[in-house]
Amino acid sequence: MEIYTYTEQENQRIDVFLAEKLDLSRSKIQKLIKSGDVCVNDKVIKKTSFLLVQDDKIKVSLTEDPEEIIVPDDDITLDIVFQNQDFLILNKPAFLSMHPTNFSQSNTLANYLIKYFPNLKNVGEDKLRPGIVHRLDKDTSGLLIIPLNNESFFEFKTKFQNKEIKKTYIALVSGKLKEKQGVLDIPITKSQQKFNRRKVAVVPDKFTKEAITEYEVLREFKNESLLKVNLKTGRTHQIRVHFAAISNFIIGDTEYGSTKVNKKYDLNRQFLHSSQLDFNFKNKEYSFSSDLPKDLSNILENLKS
């Protein structure tokens, strides 16, 4: 039994609160709530959207689940850029989620990884995220590191935490930037209205995290700018939130972008591609690059013409 007291003045969803307190997947938290294992002020709560108020007493009954693994899936062929005994470098296509939210879900990158690399089920800290040490948004394409054993998993995790891995993206944004090379140092926090959405932290709160994005303008078009973007921190949706904050929206972004702008382009996802990874692993330097996929390169060709 886990017992908490909600001390904040602002209301907060019960599922968001528990996600901060418990080392559990989102699906597990939702399952706990819907199965009646969560009480607020000694009353069972079954709505994941229930709003907590200051001084609420929360009780969570936790039971051990039998060992579960995600469903192996072979609907796609993995685009493996590099492989050794310690890690893979993959080129993730757009429209593919990183991992499932429950053990019956399929058609995610993790499901395909388990099919071709069964031992990954024991790699990492979450059975729903085997071998996943960093991530790309569902509709973002490009390069990913997949550790193949726990030793490399925790080494890469430390490298990401210490900002020792250089991640470079190519992005197309609306408008032109006054500074052709610059840094966006804008803290990001969680939205309390929508799960997994982020926003600029105008007033810092307990969820606020440092977020730093470096960019360089590679080419300007009439109403667009092609950028090379380096992440100095790896916050959820960081690039998309940062450029939305300065009104240079990522083209095609339906969550943080501009509907009016997006209508001008034949693109059904954000123009964002993980194009390069650079890091040192076991005293060896590695550098991997990935060309723009066809849907994005077509947009550039149309703009050039």
Active site positions, annotated: 137
DSSP secondary structure letter of residue 67 = P
Please state whether beta strands 272-281 and 141-147 pair in parallel, antiparallel, or not at all (unpaired). parallel
In order of 17, 41, 274, the CA distances from 167 in angstroms are 31, 46, 7
Radius of gyration of the chain (CA): 21
Write down the H helix ranges in 107-199. 109-116, 150-161
If you count them, how many residues does the chain have?
A: 305
Angstrom distance (rounded) from CA 173 to CA 248: 5
| Residue (of 153, 152, 146) closest to 113 by Cα position | 146
Residue matched to tokens 């607020």 = 40
> Can you tell me whether residue 159 is helix, strand or coil?
helix
| Residue (of 223, 212, 231) closest to 272 by Cα position | 231
Cβ atoms of 173 and 250 within 8 Å: the answer is yes
DSSP secondary structure letter of residue 118 = G
Please state whether beta strands 12-13 and 80-83 pair in parallel, antiparallel, or not at all (unpaired). unpaired
- CA-CA-CA-CA torsion sign (236, 149, 157, 206): positive
